[in-house]
């Protein structure tokens, strides 16, 4: 009788701890729940602006840049804090994330500077460019 009681108690404890582990792992992570509450368009916008491969909508955020007043590939807004990307202006070899070279022809992408509703927010830096 004692042996069956010990086995039954062990099985009961195992099921309780297994259920408790299931409940605790099923709880939402607070950072995930904030993302899940966003609308689909906000989710897409957030994901597009923070691609880890240093691109926005398939446009690599490095290289030769031409400033335009209409028909840009990307609309940017200059900020001093909380940028989407930090940009370092270079005169040659704009081959790393956030290194941009201003050109007047044959750009890799075109940007328009706006004061509201940008696609990405840019902070100019002299070192450590990137996301």
What is the Cα gyration radius of the chain? Answer: 25
Q: pLDDT at position 24, please?
A: 47
The 3-class secondary structure across 7-69, one letter per residue, is HHHHHHHHHHHHHHHHHHHHCCCHHHHHHHCCCHHHHHHHHHHCCCCCEECCEECCEEEEECC
The residue ranges of every structural domain in the chain are 59-131
Q: pLDDT at position 74, please?
A: 92
How does pLDDT run along the chain (131 residues), one tens digit per residue?
555 555 555 555 555 555 445 444 444 444 444 656 667 666 666 655 555 788 888 899 999 999 999 999 999 999 999 999 999 999 999 999 999 999 999 999 999 999 999 999 999 999 999 88
Q: pLDDT at position 32, please?
A: 47
Q: pLDDT at position 53, please?
A: 82
Q: pLDDT at position 126, please?
A: 92
């Amino acid at each position: 009788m004692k042996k069956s009681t010990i086995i039954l108690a062990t099985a009961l404890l195992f099921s309780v701890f297994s259920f408790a582990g299931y409940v605790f792992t099923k709880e939402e992570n607070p950072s995930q729940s904030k993302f899940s509450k966003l609308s689909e368009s906000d989710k897409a916008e957030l994901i597009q602006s923070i691609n880890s491969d240093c691109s926005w909508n398939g446009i690599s955020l490095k290289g030769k840049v031409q400033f335009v007043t209409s028909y840009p590939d990307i609309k940017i807004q200059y900020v001093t804090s909380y940028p989407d990307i930090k940009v370092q202006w270079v005169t040659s070899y704009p081959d790393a994330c956030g290194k941009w070279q201003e050109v007047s022809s044959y750009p890799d992408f075109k940007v328009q500077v706006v004061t509201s509703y940008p696609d990405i927010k840019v902070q100019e830096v002299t070192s450590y460019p990137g996301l």
